[in-house]
Structure 1
Amino acid sequence: MNIKFDPNNIVIKRCMSGMSMEDSGNVEDATKVFHQAWREAKDDYDKFIAAYHLARIQKNTPDKLKWMEISLQSALNIDDDNVKSAYPTLYLNIAECYEKLCDSENAQRNYELSTIYNVGPIDEGPFYHGTKADLQVGDLLTAGEISNYKPELKMNHIYFTANANGAGLAAALAKGQGRERVYIIQPTGKFEHDPNVTDKKFPGNLTRSYRSQEPLRIIGEETEWAKLTTPERREWREKVAENKGEIIN
């Protein structure tokens, strides 16, 4: 089972809105939005995400522990390979709560579980890479290209995703004048969670974004993905231009 991360999911949209409020210093309204996300949660996936953000914003350790354990239990109920990428983060947060509460036994147990689940990607794909380059089956995509987001940065890894729509977004933002293309790829070596998205806004790697220092082999081309409208493309380019964050390279 692999649940696809959907940015149009109402709970995800609520949490993104709440995080923006947090960034602006409006913690009170952010808290209200996270509670609204919790009330609107329809299944364990929604509850896992909403509870995590409610946990993050708690000032009281017992309250943080309560919401973090709700998030973990919801994630465990799903039993989804992709959601398992969040287990190490959830167990670690729970362990830290128990440590603050001077419960060393439960703290140690959760620290151990965090380590056990921190095993790297277990995603089996299919995997995609978005670009404007005209390539053929059998061609290799390699690291060393200039970043689409930081023109002064030469990338040490080649990036890909198990989400065709995410690859389509990368294609829309890619440099060049060719048409947007999403290639089906096969990693030729080890790969890791993309640290630029993992445990940033959401726990784990829910967007199924990865990177490798080894080449990616093109094995086909995907033709069906959610293509951006012109206004959406312009909005994304503005977001990229405004983003001053560092890229972990």
Structure 2
Amino acid sequence: MAVLDSGPFFHGTKAKLQVGEFLTAGFRSNYRDTVVMNHIYFTALAKGAGLAAEIAKGDGKPRVYIVEPTGQFENDPNVTDKKFPGNPTRSYRSRLPLKVIGELESWEPYDPEFIRQLRRRIETGMGEIIND
């Protein structure tokens, strides 16, 4: 499947970052502590990045950064054809860093009850993580 977007792209996290910093792979998954991720994930949907920020590990404030891939990237197989047809979440991943080029001050939030339910699902296991 071809990559459908040229940006802008977003990454949600609780980390406090500065413009010019780079996000890299190699951290533990937000969905399973035993998995170290081989990719850094991002989306073309600010709302989706906001959801990722809400469920990210840590105690910090949820943040959505505007990011720029530094090289090749692909559709995220964790939410594309293996689980949903196409790429409705407009989610991507890369083995190469993402450069922070800005931060969104606000984005359309998900319903707090939906976020609570998603956190519960994560705690009980959400299935296989495709990390190759």
Task: Verify the 8 A CA contact 2:78 2:129 in the aligned structure 1.
Answer: yes
Work out whether 1:220 is the aligned partner of 2:111: no
| 2:20 alignment counterpart | 138
CA distance in 1, matches of 2:84, 2:28: 27
Which structure's relative contact order is higher, taking Cα pairs within 8 Å and 6+ residues apart? Answer: 2
Q: Secondary structure at the match of 2:10?
A: strand
Q: Which has more strand, going by share of residues?
A: 2
TM-score (norm 2): 0.93
- CA shift, 1:240, in A, is 1.6
Q: Secondary structure at the match of 1:169?
A: helix
- CA offset digits 1:70-122 (Å, max 9, x no partner): xxxxxxxxxxxxxxxxxxxxxxxxxxxxxxxxxxxxxxxxxxxxxxxx4x314
- CA shift, 1:147, in A, is 0.2
- CA shift, 1:239, in A, is 1.9
| 2:66 alignment counterpart | 184
RMSD across aligned positions (CA): 1.3
Task: Verify the 8 A CA contact 2:47 2:110 in the aligned structure 1.
Answer: no
1:177 is aligned with what amino acid?
A: D
Q: Secondary structure at the match of 1:159?
A: strand
Unaligned residue ranges in structure 1 (runs of 5+): 1-117
Identity value in percent? 60
CA distance in 1, matches of 2:116, 2:56: 13
After superposition, where does 1:57-206 map in structure 2 within 5 Å?
118=1, 120-206=2-88
- Structure 1 or 2, whichever has the larger Rg, is 1
Q: Which has more helix, going by share of residues?
A: 1
Unaligned residue ranges in structure 2 (runs of 5+): none
Q: Secondary structure at the match of 1:128?
A: strand
TM-score (norm 1): 0.50
Number of matched pairs: 131
CA distance in 2, matches of 1:122, 1:228: 24
